Amino acid sequence: MLDHDDVVRARAVIAGRLHRTPTFTSRTLGDGVHLKAELFQKTGSFKARGVLNKLASMSADEKRRGVIAISAGNHAQAVAWGAAAEGIDALVVMWRDASTQKVAATRGYGATVDTDAAGPAEAFARLAELQAETGRTLVHPFDDPVVHAGAGTVGLEIVEDVPEVDTIVVAVGGGGLVTGIAAAVAGVGSTEPEGSAGGGSAGAGAGRVRVVAVEPELSPALHEGLKAGRPVPVAPRSIADGLGAPFAGDNAIAVCLERGVESILVSEDEIRDAMRFLYGRAKLACEPAGAAAVAAVMAGRVGGSTVCCVVSGGNVSAETAAAILAER
């Protein structure tokens, strides 16, 4: 089971290579509400954290054979960027109607992109086929404990920057980020090993931080997985394409059940409303996926004396952003 120490070790591995993204308050959302602006991270989302931790764990032979990944776009860009930085060849499986901006950015970072699959479910079959053919190492977007540990460094930063936080709200696709954060805050109050990056205590009051997973009603992979206790296939249809996983990972479901992660669904209109709010009032140019956590707070479904919403995902096309912002 992924734990706090795994996340602390991941932070030491990736230290100095990524931004420590800012956390700030939003009085308009309410007293005690904070926003973790992870959209300012390298490649525009938290994904780079887990990717760097995974690449660092690979052997020289694995690096020589290259990596393969699957993604709607944010993980794709992070893998392409990270692999280029490490001199590793990257092949990324996307699908035909994936965001053209995200496909272009992934290629721009240097990866080869395969778009033969018609949609997310078919893309996983294509992934298995190409992995068998090429012998590349898979950098999974949401079901690898090493990737989870890297993503969890977001949680370490939150409890350091907002030590009084009692609720962390996280948008979810396949469950990688919320899994890492749940593991990170399970150790709140423990002391990091000597020599770890950042040093010192992660906070006070072990076990006091509530973690809430937020998904679109039209892409409820983790929600369904938590109810069933196992991965359940779904057909993602949300405008929040960054949350469009066709199932949640086994590891994510196990950790979230063990850590008591709560699950909330939001509507498409609520996501759009939150995105407009973040653009207009918080000045955060996020994609729809980045607005989902705030949507749950704005809809009154999440409370707490000190709440932090993770805003991750700044990769939205001008056309999509303009259409949502023009709505009333």
The model's pLDDT over 205-224, given as tens digits with 9 standing for 90+, comes to: 345 899 999 999 999 999 99
Tell which wins on pLDDT, 195 or 306.
306
CATH topology of domain 4-45+145-326: Rossmann fold (3.40.50)
pLDDT digits (tens, 9 = 90+) for 92-145: 999 998 888 999 999 999 999 999 999 888 999 999 999 999 999 999 999 999
How would you list the strands of the sheet with 167-171, edge to edge? 23-25, 33-37, 307-311, 167-171, 210-216, 262-266
Catalytic residue among 26, 36, 42, 47: 47
Please say if 47 is a catalytic residue.
yes
Decide if 4-45+145-326 and 49-138 have a common fold.
yes
Please return the burial class of 52, using the count of CB atoms within 10 Å of its CB with bins 0-12, 13-18 and 19+: buried
For residue 1, the model assigns a pLDDT of: 86
For residue 208, the model assigns a pLDDT of: 86
Catalytic residue among 26, 238, 263, 312: 312
What residue spans define the domains of the chain? Answer: 4-45+145-326, 49-138
For residue 193, the model assigns a pLDDT of: 39
For residue 187, the model assigns a pLDDT of: 66
Could you tell me the pLDDT band of residue 195, with boundaries at 50, 70 and 90? very low
CATH topology of domain 49-138: Rossmann fold (3.40.50)
For residue 16, the model assigns a pLDDT of: 96
Please say if 312 is a catalytic residue.
yes
240 phi and psi angles, rounded to 5 deg: -80, 75
**309 has pLDDT over 80:** yes
